[in-house]
Amino acid sequence: MAYNITVKDMLPSQMPVHIGFIMDGNGRWAKKRGLPRKFGHREGAKTFEKIVDYCKEIGIKYISFYAFSTENWKRPKDEIEAIIDLFRKYIDDVREHIDKDVKVIFLGDKSVFDDVLRKKMLKLEEDSKDFTTMTLLIAVNYGGRDEIIRAVRNVAIQYKNNQLDISSINEDFFGKHLDTSGIPDVDLLIRPSGEMRLSNFLIWQSAYAEFYYTNVLWPDFSPKELDKAILDYSKRGRRFGGV
Binding site residues, ligand IPE, CB under 6 A: 22-28, 66-69, 72, 83, 193, 195, 197, 199
Active site residue 24: yes
Task: State whether residue 42 is helix, strand or coil.
Answer: helix
Q: Of 93, 115, 116, whose CA–CA distance to 104 is shortest?
A: 93
| Cα-based distances in Å from 177 to 45, 62, 125, 143, 151 | 29, 19, 17, 15, 5
Return d(Cα 16, Cα 87) in angstroms, integer.
27
Contacts of 101 by beta carbon, 8 Å cutoff, 6+ apart: 131, 132, 133, 134
Of 4, 9, 72, 185, which residue is the catalytic one? Answer: 72
Q: Quick one: which segment of 17-25, 34-42, 85-93, 225-233 binds Mg ion (CB under 5 A)?
A: 17-25
Q: Does 147 bind Mg ion (CB under 5 A)?
A: no
| Cα-based distances in Å from 95 to 8, 48, 102, 131, 177 | 27, 15, 10, 13, 29
Q: Does 43 bind Mg ion (CB under 5 A)?
A: no
Binding residue for Mg ion (CB under 5 A) from 24, 43, 179, 225? 24
Partner whose footprint covers residue 199, from ligand IPE, Mg ion, none (CB < 5 to 8 Å by kind): ligand IPE
Q: Cβ closer to Mg ion: 76 or 241? A: 76
* CB 116 to ligand IPE: min, Å: 21
Give the residue numbers marked as catalytic. Answer: 24, 72
Residues that bind Mg ion (CB under 5 A): 24
